[in-house]
Amino acid sequence: MISSNIGIIGHPIGHTKSPVFQQAGLDALGIDETFEAWDVPPKKLESIVAKFREKNFIACCVTLPHKQAVIPMVDELTDAAKAVGAVNWIFNRRGKLVGHNTDGSGFLRALREKTCFDPKGADVVVFGAGGAARAIVHALKGAEVNRLTIANRTVEKAQVLASYFSEGKFKPKAIGMAKDEMANHVPFANLLVNTTSLGMSGGPAEIASPVTSDMISAQTIGYDAVYAPPMTTFLREVEAAGGEPAGGITMLVFQGIEGFEMATGRSAPVNIMFEAIYSAIKSHSN
């Protein structure tokens, strides 16, 4: 099943865009490897991860549903992986497996480099309280945002996430997703981040949005961690309000770029990797 020394595991894996831009990066640097996508059902996960210890194996990106399941299978976790409680990259360091998480740092880099927005001092609302929200809240805490509100359909999950990251002056507020609750927070936010599956292609609510344009400030940046489709209903609502929409493809690529650089020890050809993913998306939509 594994015939390359670098790739991505998930289940299902057919949706992944990672091989497109990762391969472009490898080719541009003259690295003779093929970035493969491996569909690994949960029952085979442990045996597959064990193969990552083999001499020539380099690294593996990890996507759903394995980001937490792989934790006991690695030898060491970085501080980021510990804080987020999830692993999205595994590196082979001479037979020792190191689990890392680049989702949060990839999100911040996407914000800063592709939307020219520094979240320091910002008022932020994050929709959702799952794994992606956890990584993003961790990143926003480190970025020193002013206020952070976590809105989730099940408010108890938002409360758990808020209390986990509460420290010193940083005390995220947890709310439900009823319109009257969100009305006290969403209109005053500089940054709105959707981490739910609302609006995701193939998801349970493809045309839904966590919030509507009448509640969104024209001075807001709306970031959707969902990257398929490139323009979600949430982003359309942000645009309709006069705000700036930003799709999750930038977070996907930047988390991959950080992992690429740690895996290869080389500076990633960022522009080439972005060109590859945008070209693939354009050809797919035609």
Average confidence score pLDDT of the chain: 96
Q: H or E segment at 19?
A: helix 18-28
What 3-state DSSP class applies to 221?
A: strand
Where residue 281 falls among pLDDT bands split at 50, 70, 90? confident
Cα 237 from Cα 223, distance rounded (Å): 11
Which one from 17, 44, 55, 67 is the annotated catalytic residue?
Answer: 67
Where residue 150 falls among pLDDT bands split at 50, 70, 90? very high
CA atoms within 13 A on the CB side of 173: 16
CA atoms within 13 A on the CB side of 89: 28
**Quick one: DSSP state of residue 3?**
-
Q: Is the pLDDT of residue 285 over 80?
A: no
Where residue 3 falls among pLDDT bands split at 50, 70, 90? confident
pLDDT at 286: 58
Going by C-beta distance under 8 Å and a sequence separation of 6 or more, which residues neighbour residue 35? Answer: 4, 6, 7, 8, 18, 19, 22, 23, 26
CATH of domain 104-247: 3.40.50.720
pLDDT at 203: 83
Given a contact cutoff of 8 angstroms between Cβ atoms, the answer to whether 124 and 189 are in contact is yes
Given a contact cutoff of 8 angstroms between Cβ atoms, the answer to whether 10 and 63 are in contact is yes
Question: Domain map of the chain by residue range?
Answer: 6-101+250-285, 104-247
Residues of the chain with pLDDT > 90, as a percent, come to: 93
Where residue 202 falls among pLDDT bands split at 50, 70, 90? confident
The two three-digit tokens of residue 223, written as one number: 């970031």
- pLDDT, tens only, 32-79: 999 999 999 999 999 999 999 999 999 999 998 999 999 999 999 999
Q: Is the pLDDT of residue 187 over 90?
A: yes
pLDDT at 113: 96
Q: Is the pLDDT of residue 24 over 90?
A: yes
Q: What is the pTM of this model?
A: 0.94
Q: Is the pLDDT of residue 272 over 70?
A: yes
Q: Is the pLDDT of residue 242 over 90?
A: yes
* Burial annotation 67-106 (CB, 10 A radius, 16+ → b, else e): beebeebbeebbebbebbbbbbbbbbeeeebbbbbbbbbb
Q: Which amino acid is at 221?
A: I
- pLDDT, tens only, 151-186: 999 999 999 999 999 999 999 999 999 999 999 999
- pLDDT, tens only, 68-124: 999 999 999 999 999 999 999 999 999 999 999 999 999 999 999 999 999 999 999
**Bigger pLDDT: 215 or 204?**
215
pLDDT at 132: 93
| 67 labelled catalytic | yes
Q: CB under 8 Å, gap of 24 or more: what pairs does 47-52 form?
A: 48/1, 48/2, 48/9, 49/73, 49/74, 49/90, 49/97, 51/2, 52/90, 52/92, 52/97
Given a contact cutoff of 8 angstroms between Cβ atoms, the answer to whether 140 and 150 are in contact is no
Architecture of the structural domain at 6-101+250-285: 3-Layer(aba) Sandwich (3.40)
Instruction: Compute the residue count for the chain.
Output: 286
CA dihedral 164, 225, 193, 244 (to 10 degrees): 160
pLDDT at 136: 97
- Domains 6-101+250-285 and 104-247 belong to one CATH topology: yes
